[in-house]
Amino acid sequence: QVQLVESGGGLVQAGGSLRLSCAASGRTFSSYAMGWFRQAPGKERTFVAAINWSGGITAYADSVKGRFTISRDNAKNTLYLQMNSLKPEDTAVYYCAADGDGELYSNYKNLLEYTYWGQGTQVTVSS
């Protein structure tokens, strides 16, 4: 069992930055690949970024590539998402999730790949 708690969301102007954190407790955090997803009002939850167990492999949605950076600190049991050059279309509830596999396989963008989820943190970008 892994418990995940996101923080760091808030209201920011377009062009600004935020850093989201996801604190993990329970079973060994470092054994899981991790992902960030987001859900805008009235829309489906979609993939944002993923990272393997060591942090050596990352992947991003095309919409955030070059603006967002996913990272992890296994010593602190924490996952991060640095978000720069934010746009109004980035407005959503952001969720972190843990994948029972340590590596990123072909279905890492699929919600069903992830076993544990946080409760989400709201990010609002004003124009």
Band (104; pLDDT cuts 50, 70, 90): confident
pLDDT the model gives residue 55 = 95
Query: Residues 6 or more apart from 99 whose CB is under 8 A from it?
Result: 32, 33, 34, 35, 50, 108, 113, 114, 115
Band (105; pLDDT cuts 50, 70, 90): confident
Across the chain, mean pLDDT equals: 95
Query: Residues 6 or more apart from 43 whose CB is under 8 A from it?
Result: 92
As a whole number of angstroms, the distance between CA 7 and CA 32 comes to 20
Give the pLDDT mean for 101-122: 92
The pLDDT tens digits of the residues spanning 38-90 come to 999 999 999 999 999 999 999 999 999 999 999 999 999 999 999 999 999 99
pLDDT the model gives residue 37 = 98
Give the pLDDT mean for 100-120: 91
Which of 76, 74, 92 minimizes the C-alpha distance to 30? Answer: 74
* Strands 92-99 and 10-13, sheet pairing: unpaired
Residue 28 CA neighbour count, 13 Å, CB half: 6
Residue found under tokens 């050059």:
85
Residue found under tokens 């946080």:
118
